[in-house]
Chains A and B, each alone.
Chain A
Amino acid sequence: MHPGKDDACVLRLEDVTKVYSGIVAVRHANLALRRGAVNVLVGENGAGKSTLMRIIAGVEKPSIGRILMDGEEVEFHSPADAQRHGIGMVFQELNLFGNLSVAENIFATREIMRGVRGIDHRAQVEKANHFLDKLDAGINAETLVEDLPIGQQQLVEIAKAISLDTRILILDEPTSALSAAEVDVLFKVIGELKAQGVAIVYISHRLEELMRIGDYITVLRDGQITGHAMVRDIDTKWIVRSMIGSDAKDFAKSVDHRLGEEIFRAEDICLPRKTGGLAVDHVSISVRAGEVLGIYGLMGAGRSEFFECVMGQHAHSTGSIRVGGVEVAGRDTSRRIREGLALIPEDRQREGLVQALSIASNLTLASLDRFVRFGFHIAGERERSAIKSAIRDLSIKAPNPDFEVTSMSGGNQQKVVIGKALMTEPKVLLMDEPSRGIDVGAKADVFRTMRRLAGEGLAILFSTSDLEEVMALSDRIAVMSNGRLVAVIDRRDATEELIVKASAEGHKTTRELAQ
């Protein structure tokens, strides 16, 4: 793993470890970035790629370890510090000011001044247009960023990074919102930068892209570097193997039970994207009682959007949904919940919990109607006993249900969100990334709960971008890519490679269509 005395090495991380409160995000990582090459970084969500890059970009400081630049130890106290050393980064979440123009965004914090006469807007626009033309973006530097579709915003972000005139350019999933043609242009620009000797760090989930553009590849798993190689020496199988490893995590054993009748059917679900195209593209799927359907897909594959359509969160979505053979008539979330659907949202803090309320109030929030007497009075006894049994069934570690929900750990908060959904007595449970951001023990609890519920005859659809999880928990695996359902595979026939390949399917076909 030590590249030795390599002249081409511009920046090196030595034995870097990063610890957040209780969680080791990166452990003992050694990484060398070579100039004039594309250094690819892969790994599953939460493997520590982004943390590593944030350390290089000066956003985070390593807990232990050194950063060497041209053989000399450096310390970055802020992103501006790293920028002075010639490091630029395009973040996965776009960091743009929607209310400012493209040029103003590109030159934010380093405006071109005309002394006391203020900002030289004309020079900024001229220069910005120069960088945008390089990317063939077809964007006018004077437009407001918020008026641009998301793909073009990503190009603006890239143009901004290029304009920094960097020696090291980090691109964190730069193509997630780009069309095939735009990706080609980006790759051309990357090629030019490479020729100028810039070291490029490229993070992506799309293995195809990595194979096409990468020179060196580094694989991360659970915060550790598990593989390092030249791209030309390896194949996708090697990547998948290094990404997943062989040591199994603690998954609940799938209990054998008979599947019941088909209880959930979604037909032709479509959701137009704000910026054109379809976020959910004619998805049809059915699930039987007692079945666990895992939906695998990369970020932006349309899984969350599909779940939101099912729950009636989008007024302009189309298609039909049946629960127990009866078409769901209600258009809004509260009627859908009454008809037997329930969702555990992906973003616990923003969509799952009311932070100001107690653990108890959060649990019963969606099902208060069950405890009402005379049409308006909440019967305290009935509510309390239901809360008690939910806390017991889900093994929520809540010392006092009247405490604020934020006083618990992430895993227990997630159990509260699950409890809230279960209290509505659903027939179909949708879980959007149920294991995100919770510790290993809570994860195991959540998985056990899922199996138990399936055993009790609930139909469960869950989404994940964790290969291992989808393989271990599902009875059937559906793969979504670019808004489309590209494959539904029976558990017995599924292999990791098959799933990874399918998850990039949606992008490939758009590329073929584009040509």
Chain B
Amino acid sequence: MTTATTTTDATDVSSGSVLLTLMKLRTFIALFAVIAFFSIFAPNFLSTANIILMSKHVALNAFLAMGMTFVIITGGIDLSVGSIVGLCGMVAGGLILNGIDLQFGFTVYFNIVEVCLITLAVGVAIGAINGLLITKLNVAPFIATLGTLYVARGFALLSSDGQTFPNLVGKPELATTGFAFLGSGRVLGLPVSIWILIVVALAAAYVAKYTPIGRHIFAVGGNERAARMSGIRVDRVKMFVYMFSGFCAAIVGLVISSELMASHPATGNSFELNAIAAAVLGGTSMSGGRGTIGGTIIGAFVIGILSDGLVMMGISSFWQMVIKGIVIIVAVVVDQAQRRLQQQVTLMQLAKKG
């Protein structure tokens, strides 16, 4: 080791730095690579209509991936988001179609804004349950959220006996119309769901960088003991990230049922895996302490463009799974290589300074 550092000259250090910069930008490079590839090989890939359609697909995963990013940065995992999507869709659909039956002949209906707020509250509440299980009852995040995955999915299926809530147009006299706006409305030419994504992503990025809770999220994931010793309320931080993850999942539940104008209890099955993949692809470290919202969004775009582009090229969906898996593995391998290279470059810089 000592001989290696003494014989390395300036060119080696700089070539190491170039390689390091390339690796740091890998998610960007991957994004440009998939865009370039499909604009050549997939017809109509760069048409405005296609781009907007793809963005809408990507947005769904991006919401979940943002929530997942915070959770993973604290060193946890949230497997329940897919089920929360399903349950929240059913909650929204059920409230619009049937209201709440109070058992003695009365049924309460909510207007569409209230329905959305209640649905979001349900998502946050399930996140809170995850958080309580993990902080107060000391259940490992993997197990706690695996449990709520089943419970939430079960309730989603129970709510309609496994049936779909169809045709969520609502009734004007109950003020339950207008649900379609979320999924298919447009503002200034962009779909509403994209606008919501922009707002939530900016807010999340702001929280991560400029607020104490954001700093605390990184500290808890980086070294939970040191965070506790520094007076950070670790339990509160964890509650926050799981509740935010639930909130993001509820948004996705609303958007999907609004797009389809129907709620199906199996919606969101295995969405959690796509969200984890996007976060990891975007540079979030599964061991906690590292990750960015921007990286995660780009990761979600890479995965989304990859699957949509492969569909447009007419490649079998079985091959798509293989390709997606390989991309994720390569991403993590490069991540590890970057970590090692980074350490080497830092050591060399220290050695050069003497």
Q: Is the CB of B211 within 8 A of A365?
A: no
CA distance A313 to B290 in the complex (A): 26
Query: B210 contacts the other chain (Cβ, under 8 Å)?
Result: yes
Q: Is the CB of A357 within 8 A of B218?
A: yes
Stretch of A181-189, A274-282, A329-337 with 4 or more beta carbons under 8 angstroms from chain B? A329-337
Query: Measured between C-beta atoms, what is the minimum distance from B223 to chain A in Å?
Result: 4
Q: Which residues of A lie under 8 Å from residue B288 when comparing CB positions? A: 356
CA distance A403 to B226 in the complex (A): 19
Q: Which residues of A lie under 8 Å from residue B213 when comparing CB positions? A: 376
Q: Is the CB of A365 within 8 A of B210?
A: no
Query: B192 contacts the other chain (Cβ, under 8 Å)?
Result: no
Query: B171 contacts the other chain (Cβ, under 8 Å)?
Result: no
Query: A212 contacts the other chain (Cβ, under 8 Å)?
Result: no
Q: Is the CB of A378 within 8 A of B210?
A: yes
Which of A333, A356, A369, A403 touches B218 (beta carbons < 8 Å)? A356
Query: B215 contacts the other chain (Cβ, under 8 Å)?
Result: yes
Which residue of chain A has its CB nearest to the CB of B206? A377
Which residue of chain A has its CB nearest to the CB of B347? A407
Q: Is the CB of B223 within 8 A of A378?
A: no
Within 8 A of A (CB), among B248-297: 288-290
Which residue of chain A has its CB nearest to the CB of B218? A357
CA distance A364 to B226 in the complex (A): 13
Question: C-beta contact mask, A463-479 vs B, less than 8 Å → 1, else 0?
Answer: 00000000000000000
Query: Measured between C-beta atoms, what is the minimum distance from A382 to chain B in Å?
Result: 12
Say yes or no: A356-B212 contact (C-beta < 8 A), given A351-B229, A366-B230, A366-B231: no
CA distance A345 to B231 in the complex (A): 13
Q: Is the CB of A369 within 8 A of B226?
A: no
Query: B219 contacts the other chain (Cβ, under 8 Å)?
Result: yes
> Which of B226, B288, B350 is the most central at the interface, judged by chain A CB atoms within 10 Å of its CB?
B226
CA distance A407 to B346 in the complex (A): 7
Query: B246 contacts the other chain (Cβ, under 8 Å)?
Result: no
Q: Which residues of B lie under 8 Å from residue A404 when comparing CB positions? A: 346
> Which of B211, B229, B232, B289 is the most central at the interface, judged by chain A CB atoms within 10 Å of its CB?
B229
Q: Is the CB of A376 within 8 A of B211?
A: yes
Question: C-beta contact mask, A402-421 vs B, less than 8 Å → 1, else 0?
Answer: 01100100000000000010
Which residue of chain B has its CB nearest to the CB of A345? B229
Q: Is the CB of B218 within 8 A of A343?
A: no
Q: Is the CB of A350 within 8 A of B346?
A: no
Q: Is the CB of A376 within 8 A of B226?
A: no
Question: C-beta contact mask, A322-351 vs B, less than 8 Å → 1, else 0?
Answer: 000000000011101110000101000011
Query: A150 contacts the other chain (Cβ, under 8 Å)?
Result: no
CA distance A311 to B233 in the complex (A): 14
Q: Is the CB of B212 within 8 A of A351?
A: no
What bracket does the count of chain A residues touching chain B fall in? 35 or more
Q: Which residues of A lie under 8 Å from residue B232 when comparing CB positions? A: 334, 365-366
CA distance A366 to B213 in the complex (A): 12
Which of A343, A345, A357, A424 touches B219 (beta carbons < 8 Å)? A357
Say yes or no: A356-B346 contact (C-beta < 8 A), given A365-B215, A377-B211: no
Q: Is the CB of B218 within 8 A of A354?
A: yes
Q: Is the CB of A365 within 8 A of B219?
A: yes
CA distance A104 to B221 in the complex (A): 35
Q: Which residues of B lie under 8 Å from residue A343 when comparing CB positions? A: 229
Q: Is the CB of B350 within 8 A of A378?
A: no
Q: Is the CB of A354 within 8 A of B219?
A: yes
Say yes or no: A352-B229 contact (C-beta < 8 A), given A357-B222, A365-B219: yes
Q: Is the CB of A356 within 8 A of B226?
A: no
Query: Measured between C-beta atoms, what is the minimum distance from A436 to chain B in Å?
Result: 16
Which residue of chain A has its CB nearest to the CB of B227? A354
Query: A355 contacts the other chain (Cβ, under 8 Å)?
Result: yes
Q: Which residues of B lie under 8 Å from residue A377 when comparing CB positions? A: 210-211
Query: A390 contacts the other chain (Cβ, under 8 Å)?
Result: no
Which residue of chain A has its CB nearest to the CB of B73? A356
Query: A372 contacts the other chain (Cβ, under 8 Å)?
Result: yes
Within 8 A of B (CB), among A284-326: 311, 313
Q: Is the CB of A351 within 8 A of B226?
A: yes
Query: B340 contacts the other chain (Cβ, under 8 Å)?
Result: no
Q: Which residues of A lie under 8 Å from residue B231 when comparing CB positions? A: 333-334, 336-338, 366, 424
Q: Which residues of B lie under 8 Å from residue A407 when comparing CB positions? A: 346, 350
Can you give 7 contacting A-B residue pairs, CB < 8 Å? A311-B229, A345-B226, A350-B223, A355-B289, A372-B212, A378-B210, A378-B211
Write the residues of chain B forming the contact surface with A, with a CB cutoff of 8 angstroms. Answer: 210-213, 215-216, 218-219, 221-223, 225-233, 288-290, 346, 350, 353
Q: Nearest 5 CB-CB pairs, A to B?
A: A356-B289, A334-B231, A356-B222, A354-B222, A366-B230
